[in-house]
Structure 1
Amino acid sequence: MLTATKLTKAYGDVPAIRHVTLHLEPGRIMALVGASGSGKSTLLSLLAGLTNADSGDVRLNGERVMGPAEVLVAGHKDIRLVHQEYQLMPNVSVRDNISYALRFFEKSYRDFRVDELLKLCRLTDVQSRLPRQVSGGEKQRTAIARAIADRPAVLLLDEPFSHLDLPNRLIVRDLLFDMVRQDTTGPDPTSCLLVTHDATDALSIADSLGIMRDGRLIQLGTPVEVYQQPATAYAARMTGPVNVLKAKHLPMLDLPEKDNPNELICLRPEQIQLHEGGVSGSIRALFFKGSHYELEVELSRYVCLRLLTTRTDLHVGQSVGIRVDAEAVWALKP
């Protein structure tokens, strides 16, 4: 288990991490989502033992992870951090980049393990190429293969999907899922913690999902819990499309008014249905998303809701009715 307890870190007078506590279980994937500047990368550096914390500590299986001020070489032998920039050796092949992580092992095992990783990460066909001769997705997979070569206890990933096109995002996402899941039956399963500013991929593979804001971990739970019951409007927006409006507008949706008219509530687009005889509105915008359409329906000058549909007979300016179930309304913290 990787455990962080009340971690804090500031750069001068600027706080970067504020009293963050989290627990990463063996063989599990945790994702942390937050806007740029929310402290995600600093937190990874602290967890990896590459940056000194101002207070709090990090422990792996009960043993404290020491910072660079306490050791000759910064970092922990059982924790690997994959940076956004990949940090591959530019003048050696993909295969040799991976093999370098196993340089202290016997050649027979090293060759076997590298072949295994090339297959797992779909790099066999490009193993002889230099990093500059492969795609961004192949560079990312090479960096991951090198990081997991000697089977670390914890893999930390800084924005693993940020530079990738959609096909490569899906490949890397599936790789991470398979990599962690295939080792859960072994004696030393690998855990994975990734940080990202886009929750789309994190929601699909993570066992737990945290929301970072201004150096604080403001919410942590299962992806379903965080998506369906966000703590704040920020958490709601960081985990996907959402309608955030004041409770005083609920009667306009034919829903019971709350005691506090200024209370914020959220509705996910999929929780709003087109319904003849429902509350009347006009389609202000229509976006084709491949498997469905995303609509913006204007109910008044102050209320415009986003919803999803598979109907193909709609157009901008068309009058439609919508319906919202009272159970779909979720109140947000201030």
Structure 2
Amino acid sequence: MLTATKLVKAYNSVQAVRNVSITLEPGQIMALVGASGSGKSTLLNLLAGLADADTGEVRLNDERVPGPSEVLVPGHKDIRLVHQEYQLMPNVSVRENIAYALRFFEKSYRDFRVNELLKLCRLTDVQDRIPRQVSGGEKQRTAIARAIADKPAILLLDEPFSHLDLPNRLIVRDLLFDLVRHEQTGSRSTSCLFVTHDASDALSIADTLGILRDGKLIQLGAPVDIYHRPVTAYAARMTGLVNIVKAKYLPLLGLPESDVPESLICIRPEQLKLDDSGTSVTVRAVYFKGSHYELDVEASRYVSLRLLTTRTDIQVGQVVRIGLRDNELWRLKG
């Protein structure tokens, strides 16, 4: 179990990480989502023992993880951090990059484990190529395979999907889920924590989701809970497409007036529907999304909304009627 308690890290008096506490259980996948500059990479370096915290501590299985000022070689033997830049050895093959992490093991086990990882990571066909001869997705999978080769307790990943096209994003996302689940054997298991600015991948594979803003962890919980009940407008926007509406405009949507008119209401696009008995709105834009269309509609000069539909007959400028699928709207705290 990895625990971080009240971590604080500042650079030139600017706090990059502010009083962050998290617990990562064995076999758990946790994702932290935040905009650029929210402290994601700094937090990872603190957790990996690659940066010294100003205050607070990190413990793995109740033993403190020392910072780089306390050891000759920074880092911890049971914690692996995969950087955005992959940091592969450029002049040796994919296979040799993975095998390097197992250089202190017997050859028979090393060969077995490398072959296992090449298969799991879909790298068998490119195992003899050097990094510059493979794609970005293959580099990322090689970096992950190398990091997990000797079965560390903790796998940390910094923006693992940021440089990848959609097909490779899906491959790496599924790989990450499969690898962590695959390593749950015997008495040893691997936990994973990754940071990202795009919640779509985090929502699909993480057991726990956290929202970082300006170095502070503002919400932590199950992905489904944070998606439907975000604490702030920032948390709502970081977890997907959302409509943020002042409560005083709810009557424009055919809903009762709120007793707190200046409060903000969170309405996800899938909560809205085209409804012949609903409120009239004007279609401002229609976006084709493959399996559905995303509509940008205007209820008044103060209220515009996004909703989803599979109807193919909606045109820009058309007046349509919309309603809510349910009345369980979520009021944001700030």
**Corresponding residue for 1:280?**
280
- Asked if 1 retains the 8 angstrom alpha-carbon contact of 2:244 and 2:264, the reply is yes
Report the counterpart of residue 323 of structure 2 in structure 1: 323
SS at match of 1:276: strand
Equivalent residue, structure 2, for 1:99: 99
Mapped partners of 1:188, 1:248: distance in 2: 54
Q: Greater shift after overlay, 185-194 or 240-249?
A: 185-194
Indicate the residue corresponding to 2:196 in structure 1. Answer: 196
Aligned to 1:238: 238
**Aligned equivalents of 1:119 and 1:183: distance in 2?**
14
Amino acid at match of 2:252: M
- Which residue pairs with 1:217 in the alignment? 217
> Structure 2: which amino acid aligns with 1:6?
K
| Aligned counterparts of 2:224 and 2:292: Cα–Cα separation in 1 | 21
1:323 Cα offset (Å): 0.5
SS at match of 1:328: coil
Contact 1:210/1:219, CA 8 A, preserved across alignment: yes
CA contact (8 A) 2:208 2:221 kept: yes
TM-fit CA distance, 1:183: 2.3
Q: Which 4+ residue blocks in structure 1 deviate beyond 2 angstroms?
A: 183-186, 325-328
Q: One-letter code of the match for 1:318?
A: Q
Superposed CA deviations along residues 18-51 of structure 1, whole A, max 9, x for unmatched, are: 0000001100100000000000000000000000
Contact 2:273 2:325 in 1 (8 A): no
CA deviations over 1:284-325 (Å, ceiling 9, x no partner): 000000000000111111111100001111111111100025
Distance 2:328 2:102 in 1: 52
Deviation digits for residues 224-280 of structure 1 (CA, Å, limit 9, x no counterpart): 000000010000000000000100001111112111111011100000010002000
| Superposition pairs of residues 82-121 of structure 1, within 5 angstroms | 82-121=82-121
Rounded Cα–Cα distance in structure 1 between residues aligned with 2:38 and 2:265:
24
Equivalent-residue separation in structure 2 for 1:330 and 1:112 (angstroms): 52
Corresponding position of 1:66: 66
Amino acid at match of 1:205: I
| Structure 2 portions without partners, runs of 5+ | none
**How many angstroms does 1:185 deviate by?**
4.0
Task: Say if 2:58 is the partner of 1:55.
Answer: no
Q: Deviations over 1:64-92 (max 9, x none)?
A: 00001111110000000000000000000
Q: Distance in 1 between matches of 2:313 and 2:237?
A: 29
Letter in 2 for 1:19: N
TM-score by length of 2: 0.99
3-state SS of paired residue (1:69): helix
Query: Does the Cα contact within 8 Å between 2:271 and 2:326 map onto a contact in 1?
Result: no
Q: Superposition pairs for residues 248-267 of structure 1, below 5 Å? A: 248-267=248-267
- List runs of 5+ in structure 1 lacking aligned partners: none
Deviation at 1:328, TM superposition (A): 3.3
- The 5-angstrom pairing of residues 102-251 of structure 1 reads 102-251=102-251
Question: 8 Å contact 1:255–1:326 — kept in the other structure?
Answer: no
- How far did residue 150 of structure 1 move? 0.2
1:182 positional shift:
1.8
Structure 2 Cα separation of the partners of residues 96 and 214 of structure 1 = 40
Whole-angstrom CA distance in 2 between matches of 1:31 and 1:326: 29
Match of 2:5 in 1: 5
8 Å CA contact retained: 1:118, 1:127: yes
Matched, 1:34 2:34: yes
Given that 2:33 and 2:199 are in contact with CA atoms closer than 8 Å, whether structure 1 keeps it comes out as: yes
Answer yes or no: is the 8 Å Cα contact 1:91–1:130 preserved in 2: yes
User: Which whole-Å CA distance do the structure 1 matches of 2:24 and 2:184 have between them?
Assistant: 14
CA contact (8 A) 2:151 2:183 kept: no
Kept after mapping to 1: 8 A contact 2:158/2:196:
yes
Q: Which amino acid aligns with 2:279?
A: V
Q: 2:295 and 2:73 mapped to 1: Cα distance?
A: 54
Post-superposition shift, 1:220?
0.3
1:329, distance to aligned residue in structure 2 (A): 1.1
Residue of structure 2 equivalent to 1:24: 24
SS of structure 2 residue aligned to 1:27: coil
Amino acid at match of 1:181: R
User: Which range moved further: 177-186 or 14-23?
Assistant: 177-186
- The count of residues paired between Structure 1 and Structure 2 equals 334
Which one-letter code corresponds to 2:327 in the other structure? E
When structure 1 is superposed on structure 2, of 252-261 and 137-146 the one drifting more is 252-261
Instruction: Determine the C-alpha separation between the residues in 2 that align with 1:100 and 1:202.
Output: 30
Deviations 1:111-146 (A, max 9, x none): 111000000000000000010000000000000000
Q: Following the alignment from structure 2 to structure 1, what is the Cα–Cα distance between the partners of residues 306 and 123? A: 41
Distance 2:160 2:190 in 1: 17
**Alpha-carbon distance in structure 2 between the residues aligned to 1:133 and 1:178:** 26
